[in-house]
Structure 1
Amino acid sequence: MCLGVPGEIQEIDGHEAVADFWGVERRVRLDIVGDAVEEGDYILNHVGYAIRKIPESEVEQTMELFETMLDADPEDMLTDDVMEELEANSGAPAAGAQEEGDDDDLLEELGIDV
C-alpha cells in the first residue's frame, strides 16, 4: 500500500525541507511538489518527497482524517504503513528525530498503540 503522510514544513533550504510529522521531524525533498511551498505550509509526503501541497482550506480536515485512521484498530496494517513511510524518508533524520532502531519510541511519540 502506498501512503502519503501529511506534515508541516518547518524550514526550507533550496529543494530540501524539514517537515514535522506529529512531533517527528524528517527531511523531505521539494522537487516534485508542483506548488511553491513556504514554512508553515502542510505537504503530503511519500518516501521523502513532498508530492502535494495541502491547500490551507483542507489542512484541518486532512489532519483530523489522518488522526482518525491512526486511532483505528491497532492491529490494522495502517500502523505498519505509517512507520514504513516515515522510515522510508530519503534524507537523514532532522535534529531531534528518532535514531535508527527506535521504532517503539517513534510509535509512542506518534501516539500509536500496538
Structure 2
Amino acid sequence: MCLAIPVRIEELVDEETAVAHIGGLRKTINIALVDGLQVGDYVILHVGFALEKLDEQEAQRTLALFTELGQLEQVQQAALEDAS
C-alpha cells in the first residue's frame, strides 16, 4: 500500500535529509523536493520523500480523519515501510 501522509519534521540532518515523527517513531526521510523546511513543520510523505509542506491544522485534520476511519496505524506502518 502506498499512501501519502502528514509527518512532522523533528530534525534537519542536511539540505536533503530530515528525521520525521511517524506513529511514535523517528524515521529519516528525503526533503530535497521541499524548500525552506524547519523543525516542527509538517510535510506530506510518500515513499520516503517529502512532497509538500502543510500547515499544522491541515496535517492534524488529516491525521484525525485517518484515526476516525480506524486507519491511522495501518497508514503509519505503510509509510514506515515505504520510507525504508
TM-score range, shorter chain: 0.7 to 0.9
Q: Whose radius of gyration is greater, 1 or 2?
A: 1
Matched positions, count: 82
Compute the RMSD of aligned alpha carbons.
2.1
Q: How far apart are 1:66 and its partner, in Å?
A: 2.3
Question: Which 4+ runs in 1 deviate beyond 4 A?
Answer: none
The equivalences for 1:1-114 within 5 A come to: 2-14=2-14, 15-33=16-34, 35-69=35-69, 71=70, 79=74, 82-90=76-84
The answer to whether the 8 Å contact 2:2/2:78 transfers is no
Q: Where do 5+ consecutive residues of structure 2 fail to align?
A: none
The answer to whether the 8 Å contact 2:2/2:82 transfers is no
Range 18-27 or range 57-66, more displaced = 57-66
In the TM superposition, what whole-angstrom CA distance separates every residue of 1:24-74 from its partner, at most 9, and x where no partner exists?
Answer: 1111110112x42110011111111011111234132122112223x15xx
Counterpart Cα distance in 2 of 1:82 and 1:39: 20
Counterpart Cα distance in 1 of 2:58 and 2:23: 17
TM-score computed with the length of structure 2 as normaliser: 0.79
One-letter code aligned to 1:38: Q
Q: How far apart are 1:82 and its partner, in Å?
A: 4.5
Aligned identity (percent) is: 34
Q: Where do 5+ consecutive residues of structure 1 fail to align?
A: 73-77, 91-114
SS in 2 for 1:2: coil
